[in-house]
Amino acid sequence: MSSNQALFERAQRVIPGGVNSPVRAFRAVGGTPRFIARAQGAYMWDAEGRQLIDYIGSWGPMILGHGHPDVLDAVQRAVTEGFSFGAPTEREIELAEEILKLVPSAEQVRLVSSGTEAAMTAIRLARGATGRSKLIKFEGCYHGHADALLVKAGSGLATFGHPTSAGVPAEVVQHTLVLEYNNLEQLDEAFRQHGADIACVMIEPIAGNMNFVRASVPFMTRLRALCSQHGALLVFDEVMSGFRVALGSAQSLYAQQIPGFQPDLSVFGKVIGGGMPLAAFAGPKAIMEKLAPLGAVYQAGTLSGNPVATACGLATLRLIQQPGFFDTLGARTRRLTEGLQAAATAAGIDLRGDCQGGMFGFFFADHLPQNYPAVMATDKERFNRFFHLMLDGGVYLAPAMYEAGFVSAAHTDADIDQTLAVATRAFQTLG
């Protein structure tokens, strides 16, 4: 049996940083990443045979837990029929129909292989459909690593963004305007200055890439009104929140509070693939028909709508529609977040948690932050120590304070109790 440390050293010789996606390297929290050997239900086992209660769930997709028998069966059957055809299949229609049934704002959907690809193409489509170039995004929202989205705010609203990654030319982000999340004044001002040139506004309605921050209802109401008034498309990036915070995704929650609310385009990933590489973007027919082969906006993919991935996604989407699925999942996630807050308070530590459906976040702070600077101002030192105490106690949380957490249908009340017992000891050590 190899140790995590030996595997990490070996990995770093052949893979940059030893990982194929940066956050896995534990750079934010320090220490050695756990190399995962296998997973089942709510648990994963690392290379040293240690069992961990998994609150990452592959960063969201594993809403049923690992290895659900019905999903496994669907994937095993699909695999025997062929890995990839590069030609259309009936299963793609079934998955599209399933997604559209649950997302009334969309009439058509195109399947791709990653959230990055879906978000990037949604922007191209918005630009193609409006004939405009500029786009607005919000600080702390992540929409994948396409060039135009790796951008931070310029010095004022009159200046557009600066790249956050080497290798992205300034010219490529010159049309991207970055605003503060939940800031109504900035939003008004940006539309006042640039309204006629804005192709789209892309937003994580419940942001999961700066821990867990909700767009406020007044903010979303104003955003929808401004987009409609100025002819800009409102693009909901629901790669993380989609089919995770509610069966109808985050947009269904805003529709409950804002009469007639709908985004123009939606981007999905994570849960819709059930752990396989699959993502999608969707919207009204009039916009979606601007895509090739019908329209002038080009997009393609060798593995798009892959038959094994669609089998996995379809089985997953069918299972989460069982009556009461989200009620049970939501109650369990709430028990976790409320339990963490109560245990911290008992130890004299400031902690605030929030959750929706099977997604949660918590902050070492005496309030819930409303934007990225506020998230980054919470106690990072304390989070990092807490993270390691939890990991040592067999609880696998996201290894950075700016990431959300995920509970699956496989997590039992006993798993939550066990987690809270480990957390109670950790808070006592911290306090």
Ligand X SMILES: *Cc1c(COP(=O)(O)O)cnc(C)c1O
DSSP for residue 379: -
Question: Sign of torsion, CA 273 277 282 285?
Answer: negative
Q: Any catalytic annotation for residue 142?
A: yes
- Segment interacting with ligand X, rule: CB under 6 A, options 8-16, 235-243, 295-303, 315-323: 235-243
CB of 99 to ligand X, least distance (A): 16
End-to-end C-alpha distance for the chain, whole angstroms: 37
Strand pairing partners for 112? 279
Binding test (CB under 6 A) with ligand X, winner from 279, 309, 349, 416: 279
Binder among 209, 211, 262, 408 for ligand X (CB under 6 A)? 209
When the beta carbons of 191 and 236 are compared against ligand X, the nearer one is: 236
Does residue 134 carry a catalytic annotation? no
The only residue of 139, 180, 237, 264 in contact with ligand X, by rule CB under 6 A: 237
Show contacts with ligand X in window 2-21 (CB under 6 A): none
Q: How far apart are CA 223 and CA 203, in angstroms?
A: 10
396 tagged catalytic: no
Beta strands in 225-337 (DSSP E): 233-238, 265-268, 279-283
CA-angle at 122, arms to 198 and 133, nearest 5° = 30
> Which residue's CB is nearer to ligand X, number 180 or number 204?
204
Does residue 144 bind ligand X (CB under 6 A)?
A: yes
Tell me how far, at minimum, the Cβ of 308 lies from ligand X, in Å.
17
- Compute the distance between CA of residue 65 and CA of residue 153 in angstroms, rounded to an integer: 38
Q: CA–CA separation, 422 vs 389, rounded Å?
A: 8
Amino acid letter, 107: E
Smallest gap from Cβ 57 to ligand X, in A, equals 12
CB of 359 to ligand X, least distance (A): 10
Selected range binding ligand X among 3-11, 70-78, 100-108, 113-121, rule: CB under 6 A: 113-121
Catalytic residue among 142, 181, 254, 402: 142
Which of 89, 105, 114, 306 touches ligand X by CB under 6 A?
Answer: 114
> 158 Cβ partners below 8 Å, 6+ apart?
193
Query: Of 41, 85, 25, 17, which Cα lies nearest the Cα of 306?
Result: 85
Where does this chain bind ligand X (CB under 6 A)? 114-116, 119, 142-144, 204, 208-209, 237, 239-240, 269, 279
